[in-house]
Structures are given as structure tokens and as C-alpha cells.
Amino acid sequence: MSQNGGPDLFSRRAMILSSLGGLYFAVLGLRMAQLQIFENEEFRLEAAENQFNLLVNPASRGPVYDRFGVPLAVNRRDFRVSVMREDVDDLPTTIKALASILRLPPEKAEGSLNEAKISPRFMPSMVAENLSWEEYSRVSVYAASFPGVRCEMGEARNYPLAESMAHVLGYVAKANDKDVAADPQARHPGIRVGKEGIEKSQEKGLKGVHGATKLEVNAHGRVIREVVDPRLNPKSGTPIVLTIDAEIQQVAYDQFQAKDKRPVEAGSAVVMDIHTGELLALVSAPSFDPNKFVDGISRTDFNEYNNAEMRPLYHKAVRGIYPPGSTYKMVTALAALEAGITDPEETVNCPGFYMLGNHRFHCHARRGHGSVNLHTAIKVSCDVYFYEMGRRIGGDKMAQVAREFGFGQRFDLGIPGIAASHVPDNAWKVKNRGKPWQVYDSLNVAIGQGLIAATPLQLAVMTARIASEGKAVVPRLIREGPGAAPFTPFKQLPFNYQHMHLVHEGMIAVSNEAGGTGRGDLGIEGVRMAGKTGTAQVRRITMAERRTGVRSNASLPWRQRDHALFVCYAPAEAPKYCCALVVDHGGGGGAAAAPRAREIMRATLLKDPSSKPAFTTRAKTADLAPPADGTPPGDGKA
Amino acid sequence: MTFLPDMESGRDSFFGKLRRIEWGLVFVMAMISVVGTILLFGAAGASWEPWAGDHIIRFCIVTCLMLVVATVDVRIWYHLAYPAYIGVFILLIAVELFGKVALGAQRWLEVGPIRLQPSEFMKIALILALARYYQDAESDRMWTLRAHAIPLLMLAAPAALITLQPDLGTAIMVAGVGSIMVILAGLSWWYVVAAAGSVATFALAAFFFFMAEFQKNRILTFLDPSRDPLGTGYHITQSKIAIGSGGLFGVGYMQGTQSQLDFLPERHTDFVFAMLLEEFGMVGGLFVLALYLAAMAFGIYISIGCRHRFGKFLAAGVTMLLFIYVGINAGMIMGLMPVVGEPLPFLSYGGSVMLSLMFGLGLVQNAKVFRDKTLGSGFKSSKRVR
């Protein structure tokens, strides 16, 4: 069937169809090029995503030590069991089985089930932790028969000192939604997030860098091998060394505990090295057990803490704002001397009250102190003397001196929630109370009442600045690690040395002379203390009450009782340490606060922590350590 | 093996016939099978078990069978064409009546220990029958529809039966290879275009009214694999990842993470080419495609060179069948076609396809061995071509 000499019909058609086939093969080749050359990168990524599973490998949280290396926040071994929903066949059955193996209470098992139900498929969800070795081995044996059950040995945060360090350290707890939004890895059941104190503010340094375990898996999720990649290893958190001396901290904390017939008291204590500003104790009482928060505190426990009248969760030492009461009188005295409106020998007559117009301002001594000069006024804490001085100086000048002593200033210790309070003057009153400053404001502030308010930390700073003869001491809490500020020598405050000395004399008299409001012996041969009591009124005493007799503290509800305060430093002749102590609603400063502060000071002086070599986590580089590590310049022998 | 009646050109020894076999084509098929063996060896984790050993042994056996088919006198095949077609057709009906259900479809017929898949044999039987028909029915009015009425019926009937199993992939292949032979026989292009149009219309109608859910899903997933990446689209998504991650030179033999870690499904059968593309890259893929192209070039060359229409149609039909296999499989794994579950001949593990296609290639060789044969007396038509 050849036609016209050309190829026949069959051959023509065979060639046409072959060409079409060839064209299709060309399309196949182009598609290959598209997938393998142009989209190669994306597909390689997708293949790697298939091939590898990354599991978060939590970094070891940085430990926190006291100045001598006593562990304050550490990681202990923790055996725990979790389930990975992705791999579990039947979640309720699995958890039920685990609960019966571990003898979990039914409500705990149900809680774990609910938590596992809402957790992401690929994230392990905790069923039980803090298991004993027996429980752990028991569950490990059974785990093989339950897919998706993971038995792990991890680390759990532990606070060996529990209550006494609770406010400084804060605590870690499971991440909440906000934490997870900030750092998705925090969802891992082995990871805790700092919620308060050092743990919160130094979270970044402490948590380290979480690593990952890279697993090669097949399509059925079975692990083929673990890929060793040093870049994925977790980096442990940086350790922190605090300035705190755990021993002194414990002594200070114990002062508020029930002892003999003494009841539990609320309050705070601050102990500081006046040359370096290092805080040796920073105590708030009553306290809480931070260990309870680590694994999730029960609602009952939390409510107990949260609703307690004495507010154990509150860091009173840095957040509590109190009228300083008579402890403020040194500021008034210095302001008066600096302003030149009195001389040390001038006497003021105290009949037990002070008349301003037709208003009577009472002295704490109803019968009066008689004729008092500066020295006696401080020793017996005569209110009338300081009313007179306050009137003469005026609010703004007193405020100026108060600021020099650190009032109204927020000291950054590297923990959250430190209060600044305020220093009242005319501008402050106009702004906050809408009224101009009045003379009676000056009178009240002069004795540390009325508009003035301060934190125990600020009282300690004030005492340190007085004791150091006017050095602008700044408190420090972190010696080493993230958040540690380099030590810079304190500048000298613009006060006359002579005036400072007069105040010292008064404070020494308080603790040592007959008639001193805070008299008491340290019990250390040849070492004297200087101090000042304070009794801060928290309620208004009406004229009617004055007539019928002021009610005794004991007859009042706790919340209305006076605050007892005491500030002191020692040794009196060559000051080294200072202490500020507040007993909330504790009554008189001399009776409730001074003995406690004396105990703390005694322990501090006996141990003398500043003269001992401090702990460091930096090996062998101590030669180049900042001055804070050694004996500070100008530090005399105690 | 001495069927040597009525030889036009004197005595024809067995070795003479062997010499006329197109050894180039045999070599190409052997190459493909060796590549397949290498791939299957790797797929099993460097083991001859369970696939690679079988594969190469089977190839050797079917090659022997092919040599037999190639050297059996062409007239025997000519005479067997219709009976074979009718026999396989009856088997297809038997499947419909007594067949075993496998993977949701009735494809198997069990006769004692032997499992028969008649739809597989139908591809070859149809080629044989149509070749005989066109050998006999040559006229100068081959462009008319009337001239192809019987062949169209011959291809439509088994295709319809296979669709009922349901095995759409095989049905399309049977209908496809039959249609190509009709076109080769000279049907006017106008009819071809019209038929293509009506097939497209019918396909759309079938999609909406007749198709089983899993078939619909295959097509929907083909159009958008991300529609259901862990369900129906999983196969094609993983296949594309395997291919794409291979790059130009591949990730290396037995280094393919998609293949070795089971992400690639059916890596020893339908998706063996994806594994090749992952491990040997585009270079490896083009090499294998070139081998198939070479095989088809031999087929077309033999077809055109054959002097009788029976041989021409046989060779062209089998070549086109090979092309359809390769086209569907390669298109499928690269996401150009829906997942129809057709293997890649001689590369994929599986005996049936290898057996039937090698039988077909035996017929191609037969057209070479007996290219100068005149199908003479006793035949309806004995026109010599050219």
C-alpha cells in the first residue's frame, strides 16, 4: 500500500506516534529537572524532616550558692514517667495502667490524663515524677508493653534551705501559657521556669541553652539511631554566687520563728557589710517552702500561703513599706546639724508633748524627758526634741538629706519587685495629696511618721551610710554570675565628719548607756554595738483615746499594733556590719526588735564572713577578681 | 522446536533464527533488569532476599521463554491469535463470576496453586488478535470508522470487563494499546480527535457518576496531593520528596532516607523508580529512561522493517504497551498522573508483568526473525508489503 513513493501509512503513523511518545519522555525529563534540580532544596529539607525527630534535651539549670559555696538552689536527680500522645495506643488505658503500677491517687491520675489530652501530640506529658528508685524500676519493667510511655531520669530543682532563702531565690514552676509563648521549649515537662526572686530575674543565665536529641526515625516512628551532634548538646546554666551567708540568713530567719513562749512573728531583717554593700542576710518572715512550687503546688497549700494574715509570699524586706518611726531620727538630727539650725549642746525641754498652734503633738514618754540635747534625744528617742528640729529645718531640706541616705531609691539587687517608696517634700505632697506642705508634716516626718515610708532594705542602707561615716553604700546581692554588677568604690556623701560622729555617739548610747531605748549587751568581749529603736504607729490615736488612756498593743487586733524596728551597726568603734530589722505589728522597737537584731549581729560578728575567703566558681582566675572578692580598701580589723 | 513447514526461502535452522534475533533489544532489557536487581538488592538492605534474587532469576527464565516465542513460526501465532483472545476473554468473565477479591478488586483467578490475572494476559492477547485482524483486513478504505468497527469492539469489550473488576489502570492500558493499533491501521485523524473528545467527556461523567470512592480519591489527590498528605496523598507526597531530594547525582546507593526508612511506600514495586531517582539522581533516571527509549526504538524499527502486517502490528503494539507502562509509572511517581498502581516493567519486582511483557517482546523479536516471511496460502490475504 505504498503511496506516492513516500513511506506507507503504517510507517508514517508509527513515526508520528513515536514522536508523541518521545515528546512525553521529554516532559518526564523536564519534570525530573523541576523536582530534582530546581526544587531540590525544599525536598531535601522535607526528607530531613521525615528522617529526624528532635527531642528537647533540657539544660541543667545553673545552681545558686551562698558566699561560701553552700548550695541554695540545686538540681537533684528526679525519676519521672511521661507519655507521648503520638505514640500511645490508648491514652486512658495507658494512664490507668501506670496509675495502678505507681499506686497514684485517682484524682492525680485523672489530672495527668486531662493534661496529656490537651498537650501537643509530639510532646511528652508528665504522669508522675519524684519517683523512688523502686517505683521507677517497677514502671520501667512495664513500660516496654505500653508504647509511648517514657521513663526518664531528669533533674528537679531543689532548695535545701527551703523557707529561709525562699524570698531571695524565689522558685521555679511549670511554664504557663505566657512562658510557652515566650519560649516554646518551656513546654517540655523536664523544664521549669523561674517565677520569683533570683530564679525569675536571672532566668536567662540560669536556664542555660536547652539541647536536643536528634533521632533518626523510620516511617513508623521507630527510632533507628541517635545522631550524635555536639552542637545539639545542652549548655548548662551559669552558676550564681550570692553575697548571702546562709548561716547568718538562717539565724536571722529563726528570730521570727516561735521559740520558748515567743510566738511566730512577721517581719524582715537585712544584714549588710557596710564596706562592700554585700547583703549577708535578706530575710522575710514568715516564709514559704519553694520546693512545693517546683512540681506544682496544690490549691490548698497555695491558698493557705496566699490568704495568711502574715503574708508569707510577700518579700517584706524589699517590698514592704513601713513608716521608719524613730529610726529616722538620725536623718533628722543630721539634717539639723548640716542646716546649722542647732548645735549639739542646745537643749530642748520635753514636757511630754509639743504644741503647734493649739494642737498637741505627743512624745512617747507621757511625762516627758525634761531637758534634752542631741545626744540624749537620740538615746531616749525624744519626740519633742525632733518635733522642734523638724519645724526648724522644714520638709524640703529634710527630704534632701533623706535622699542622700537612700530613701526613695530603688536598689537593683537583681531580684524583681524591689520597692522605691518615696521621700516626701512639698512637691511630692502637692502631687500626691493635692495639698501643700504644712508644718505638722515636718513634725511628723521628723520622727519618721506621717508621709515618710521606707523599706527595711532602705533602712539598712541608711544605717550603712551612717556607719561608714557618709559613704554612699549601695547594696549588692549577687557576687558572681549573671546579674552581678562590678564593684565600684562608694563615693563620699557631703556630710560633715563631726556631725556624723555626734550621731554615732547617740546610737552607741542607745545600745550601751543607761536609759538607752535599745540597751543590751552583744555578749562579745570588747565589742559594742550602736543602734536605734523605732516604734512605728500604724493607726491614728484619737483625742478621746488619749483621755481614757492609750490602748495597749496587746489589746489591739494584730493589724493595728505598732511596728517594732531596730537599726544597728557594729563594732561601734570600727563599724563593719549593719542590720535593719522590722517586726511587723510587733509592738515596741526596744522590746521586740532590738533583742532580735542583737542576736543576728552577734552571730555575724562571731563568724565575721567578710574576712573569710569567699567561694568562687571561676577556677584559678581569682587573681583577676574584682575588689569585691578581697578585703575592701579601708576595711579595719574588727 | 522444529516447526518448519512451508518455508519460502529454503531451510531455516534454529540457529539461523537465533542469529536474526535483535540482540541489541535483548541487551537493553537485560540492562534494565540488572538495574532493577541492583535497586531491589538495596531496597532489601543489601540482601538478595526477598526480591533481588527472584528478580534476576525470573528475568533469565522469561528471556528463555522470549527466545522460544521469537523462534516459533509466525504462522503459529497467527493461527493462535483469535483462540488466545477468546480464551483470555472467557477467563475475564470467569474472574467476574468466581474471582478472588484482592485489595478491593476482583483480579485473581485461582486454579489450584496457580493464581491467574487474566487482565494481564488480555493486553498481549488483544495485540495478537488486532494484529491478525489488520493482517487480514487490509483495504484502501482504512480511514473509515466502518473498517475498524470490529477492532473497536474487540478492545472495548475486555476493557469494560476489566473496569468492572474494578481495575481502571489495566482497563485504560488495554483500551489505550488497542486504540493505538487502530490509529496505526489508518483510522482518520478526525475520528481520533472526536473519540479523544468524547472519551474526555465520558471520563468526566464517569468521575461524577460511576467511579468508586477510592478511584475518585486517587484522581482528586493527583490534582492536589496536599489535600490529604497523610491519607491518599501520602504516597505521592513521599514519592516527590524522595525524587526531589535526590538532586542531580542522587544521595547514593542505599543512602536514600526516604527509601530506606520506609517513607517511600511500595519501593520494590510501583515506586522503584522513585527510589532510583532518590539514590542515583536525575543522571540515573535519565539513564534508565534512555534504556527504555532504546528498547522502544528497536521495537519501532523492527515494526517498520517487517514485511508482513501481522508482524508490524505485533511489534508496534507491544512497543506501545511498553511505552504506556513506562509513561504511566514514571508520570505517576513524579506527580504527573494519578496513582494507578502500574509497575515499571523489568525494574519493579513482580512476575506477571515481566512474564507478559517478555512474551510480548518475544513477539516483537518474532517479527524480526520472520520479517521476510510472506504469510501466504491458507491466509485470507497474502499481500506483500512494499
Question: Strand, coil or helix: what is A494?
Answer: coil
Residues of A within 8 A of B332 (CB-CB) are none
Number of structural domains in chain B: 1
Query: If you ran DSSP here, which 8-state letter would residue A361 be given?
Result: E
Rounded to an integer, what distance in angstroms lies between the CA atom of residue A503 and that of residue B131? 125
Distance (Å) from the C-alpha of residue B114 to the closest C-alpha of chain A? 34
Are residues A13 and B186, on separate chains, in Cβ contact within 8 Å? yes
In chain A, the residue whose alpha carbon lies closest to the alpha carbon of B246 is A36
pLDDT greater than 60 at residue A634: no
H/E stretch holding A360: strand A359-362
Whether residue A432 lies inside any domain: the answer is yes
pLDDT greater than 80 at residue A305: yes
Residues A224, A373: one domain?
A: no
Residues of A within 8 A of B334 (CB-CB) are 28, 31-32, 35
Does residue A602 contact residue A522 with C-beta atoms inside 8 Å? yes
Rounded to an integer, what distance in angstroms lies between the CA atom of residue A266 and that of residue A284? 8
Distance (Å) from the C-alpha of residue B13 to the closest C-alpha of chain A? 30
What cell does A152 get? Answer: 526518664
Given pLDDT bands bounded at 50, 70 and 90, which one contains residue A622?
Answer: very low
pLDDT greater than 50 at residue A184: yes
Rounded to an integer, what distance in angstroms lies between the CA atom of residue A39 and that of residue A223? 28
CB half-sphere exposure, A454, CA atoms < 13 A:
36
Rounded to an integer, what distance in angstroms lies between the CA atom of residue A240 and that of residue A238? 7
Whether residue B1 lies inside any domain: the answer is no
Residues of A within 8 A of B300 (CB-CB) are 14-15, 18
Does residue B277 contact residue A66 with C-beta atoms inside 8 Å? no
pLDDT of residue B115: 65
Residues 6+ positions from A621 with CB-CB distance below 8 Å: none
Whether residue A64 lies inside any domain: the answer is yes
- Residue A315's nearest CA partner among A224, A159, A198, A474 is A198
Residues 6+ positions from B374 with CB-CB distance below 8 Å: B8, B307, B308, B382, B384
Alpha carbon distances (Å) from A464 to A458, A482, A629, B133? 10, 26, 19, 117
Query: What separation, in Å, do the N-terminal and C-terminal C-alpha atoms of chain A show?
Result: 128
Given pLDDT bands bounded at 50, 70 and 90, which one contains residue A545?
Answer: confident
Task: Identify the domain boundary among A208, A242, A276.
Answer: A242
pLDDT greater than 80 at residue A574: yes
Alpha carbon distances (Å) from A145 to A97, A128, B67, B74? 11, 18, 57, 66
* ipTM of this complex: 0.91
In chain A, the residue whose alpha carbon lies closest to the alpha carbon of B140 is A1
Residues in chain A: 638
Residues A416, A302: one domain?
A: yes
Residues A504, A574: one domain?
A: yes
Residues 6+ positions from A270 with CB-CB distance below 8 Å: A279, A281, A282, A283, A317, A456, A457, A459, A460, A475, A579, A580, A581
Of the given ranges (A558-562, A629-633, B17-21, B179-183), which has the lowest mean pLDDT? A629-633
pLDDT of residue B233: 74
Smallest Cβ distance to B244: which of A9, A24, A40?
A40
Are residues B327 and A21, on separate chains, in Cβ contact within 8 Å? yes
Q: Give the sheet arrangement for strand B100-102, strand by strand.
A: B100-102, B105-111, B114-116
Residues of A within 8 A of B139 (CB-CB) are none
Residues A232, A285: one domain?
A: no
Residues A258, A234: one domain?
A: no
Residues A421, A523: one domain?
A: yes
Question: Strand, coil or helix: what is A76?
Answer: strand
Does residue B240 contact residue B271 with C-beta atoms inside 8 Å? no
Whether residue B256 lies inside any domain: the answer is yes
pLDDT of residue A627: 45
Residues of B within 8 A of A9 (CB-CB) are 142, 186
Does residue A384 contact residue A390 with C-beta atoms inside 8 Å? no
pLDDT of residue A621: 44
Are residues A50 and B334, on separate chains, in Cβ contact within 8 Å? no
Rounded to an integer, what distance in angstroms lies between the CA atom of residue B72 and that of residue B62? 15
User: How do residues A434-480 score in pLDDT, each as one tens digit?
Assistant: 999 999 999 999 999 999 999 999 999 999 999 999 999 999 999 98
Mean local confidence (pLDDT), A338-364: 90
pLDDT of residue B381: 45
What cell does A43 get? Answer: 525536598
Domain that holds residue A198: 53-111+150-242
Contacts 24+ apart (CB under 8 A), A219-226: A219/A50, A219/B238, A219/B261, A219/B262, A219/B263, A220/B262, A221/A86, A221/A87, A223/A53, A224/B261
Whether residue A34 lies inside any domain: the answer is no
Q: Where are the alpha helices (DSSP H) in A213-366?
A: 246-254, 291-294, 299-307, 316-319, 329-339
Alpha carbon distances (Å) from B260 to A350, B38, B241, B268? 98, 14, 13, 11
Task: Identify the domain boundary among A214, A242, A270.
Answer: A242
Whether residue A138 lies inside any domain: the answer is no
pLDDT of residue A552: 80
What cell does B351 get? Answer: 512476575
pLDDT greater than 90 at residue A515: no
Whether residue B13 lies inside any domain: the answer is no
Q: Where are the alpha helices (DSSP H) in B167-225?
A: 168-184, 189-209, 213-223
Are residues B320 and A17, on separate chains, in Cβ contact within 8 Å? yes
- Residue A473's nearest CA partner among A452, A456, A487 is A487
Given pLDDT bands bounded at 50, 70 and 90, which one contains residue A159?
Answer: very high
pLDDT of residue A600: 94
Smallest Cβ distance to A36: which of B262, B277, B320?
B277
Q: Where are the alpha helices (DSSP H) in A438-496?
A: 439-446, 456-467
Task: Identify the domain boundary among A242, A274, A289.
Answer: A242
- Interface probe for A, chosen from B245, B255, B263 (most Cβ of A below 10 Å), is B245
Are residues B261 and A14, on separate chains, in Cβ contact within 8 Å? no
Mean local confidence (pLDDT), A133-153: 79
pLDDT greater than 80 at residue A191: yes
Domain that holds residue B268: 19-369
pLDDT, averaged in runs of 10, over chain B (386 residues): 45 85 96 96 92 94 95 94 95 82 62 72 95 88 90 94 84 93 93 91 83 76 67 81 94 91 88 95 96 96 94 96 95 86 91 91 95 66 44
Residues of A within 8 A of B245 (CB-CB) are 40, 43-44, 46-47
User: How do residues A81-92 score in pLDDT, each as one tens digit?
Assistant: 888 877 777 888
pLDDT greater at residue A238 or residue A259: A238
Distance (Å) from the C-alpha of residue A43 to the closest C-alpha of chain B? 5
pLDDT greater than 90 at residue A636: no
Q: Touching check for B95 and chain A: CB below 8 Å?
A: no
pLDDT of residue B114: 60
For the purposes of burial, counting CB atoms within 10 Å of the CB of A582, is it exposed (0-12), middle (13-18) or buried (19 or more)?
Answer: buried
Between A and B, how many CB-CB pairs are < 8 A? 122
Whether residue A616 lies inside any domain: the answer is yes
Catalytic positions of A, please? 326
Cβ atoms within 10 Å, residue A563: 26
Whether residue B386 lies inside any domain: the answer is no
- Interface probe for B, chosen from A43, A214, A215 (most Cβ of B below 10 Å), is A43
Radius of gyration of chain A measured on its C-alpha atoms: 35
Residues A485, A592: one domain?
A: yes
Q: Give the sheet arrangement for strand A211-217, strand by strand.
A: A52-57, A211-217, A223-227
Whether residue B382 lies inside any domain: the answer is no
Whether residue A256 lies inside any domain: the answer is yes
**Which conformational region is residue B94 in: left (phi greater than 0), alpha (psi within -120 to 50 degrees), or beta?**
alpha
Mean local confidence (pLDDT), A227-239: 86
Query: If you ran DSSP here, which 8-state letter would residue A471 be given?
Result: B
Q: Where are the alpha helices (DSSP H) in A34-132?
A: 40-51, 91-102, 106-118
Cβ atoms within 10 Å, residue A216: 15
Number of structural domains in chain A: 2
Query: If you ran DSSP here, which 8-state letter would residue A235 be given?
Result: B
Are residues A1 and B138, on separate chains, in Cβ contact within 8 Å? yes
In chain B, the residue whose alpha carbon lies closest to the alpha carbon of A48 is B257
Residues A458, A570: one domain?
A: yes
- Residue B354's nearest CA partner among B110, B57, B126 is B57
Read off the CATH number of the domain in which A574 is found. Answer: 3.40.710.10
What cell does B12 get? Answer: 531455516
Residues 6+ positions from A9 with CB-CB distance below 8 Å: A1, A3, B142, B186
Whether residue A2 lies inside any domain: the answer is no
Cβ atoms within 10 Å, residue A338: 18
pLDDT greater than 60 at residue A1: no
Quote the percentage of chain A above a pLDDT of 90.
49
Residues 6+ positions from A550 with CB-CB distance below 8 Å: A541
- Residue B120's nearest CA partner among B80, B82, B153, B158 is B158
Smallest Cβ distance to A47: which of B183, B245, B320?
B245
Whether residue A144 lies inside any domain: the answer is no
Rounded to an integer, what distance in angstroms lies between the CA atom of residue A299 and that of residue A268? 27
Q: Touching check for B300 and chain A: CB below 8 Å?
A: yes
Query: If you ran DSSP here, which 8-state letter would residue A418 be given?
Result: -
pLDDT greater than 90 at residue A232: no
CB half-sphere exposure, A244, CA atoms < 13 A:
33
pLDDT greater than 50 at residue A623: no
- Residue A575's nearest CA partner among A418, A421, A467, A477 is A467
Distance (Å) from the C-alpha of residue B359 to the closest C-alpha of chain A? 21
Residues A233, A213: one domain?
A: yes
Residues A483, A376: one domain?
A: yes
Average pLDDT over chain A, rounded to an integer: 87
Residues A155, A280: one domain?
A: no
DSSP string, A274-295: TTT-BEEEEEEES---THHHHT
Are residues B142 and A9, on separate chains, in Cβ contact within 8 Å? yes
Q: Touching check for B137 and chain A: CB below 8 Å?
A: no
Distance (Å) from the C-alpha of residue B209 to the closest C-alpha of chain A? 30
Residues 6+ positions from B273 with CB-CB distance below 8 Å: B285, B288, B329, B330, B333, B344, B347
Provide the pairing of β-strand A370-372 with A478-480.
Answer: unpaired
Q: SS3 helix, strand, coil % of chain B, rounded to 5?
A: 70, 5, 30
Given pLDDT bands bounded at 50, 70 and 90, which one contains residue A601?
Answer: very high
Residues A620, A510: one domain?
A: yes
Rounded to an integer, what distance in angstroms lies between the CA atom of residue B190 and that of residue A575? 114
Read off the CATH number of the domain in which A185 is found. Answer: 3.90.1310.10
Whether residue B201 lies inside any domain: the answer is yes
Chain A contact residues (CB < 8 Å to B): 1-2, 8-11, 13-15, 17-18, 21-22, 24-25, 27-29, 31-33, 35-37, 39-40, 42-44, 46-48, 50-51, 216-220, 224
CB half-sphere exposure, A410, CA atoms < 13 A:
10
pLDDT greater than 50 at residue A632: no
Rounded to an integer, what distance in angstroms lies between the CA atom of residue B345 and that of residue B299? 15
Q: Where are the alpha helices (DSSP H) in B165-188?
A: 168-184
Query: If you ran DSSP here, which 8-state letter would residue A593 be given?
Result: I
Rounded to an integer, what distance in angstroms lies between the CA atom of residue B365 and that of residue B357? 12
List b or e across A598-607, with b for residues whose CB sees 16 or more CB atoms inside 10 angstroms.
Answer: bbbbbbbbeb
User: How do residues A54-81 score in pLDDT, each as one tens digit?
Assistant: 778 888 999 999 999 999 999 988 888 8
Distance (Å) from the C-alpha of residue A220 to the closest C-alpha of chain B? 8
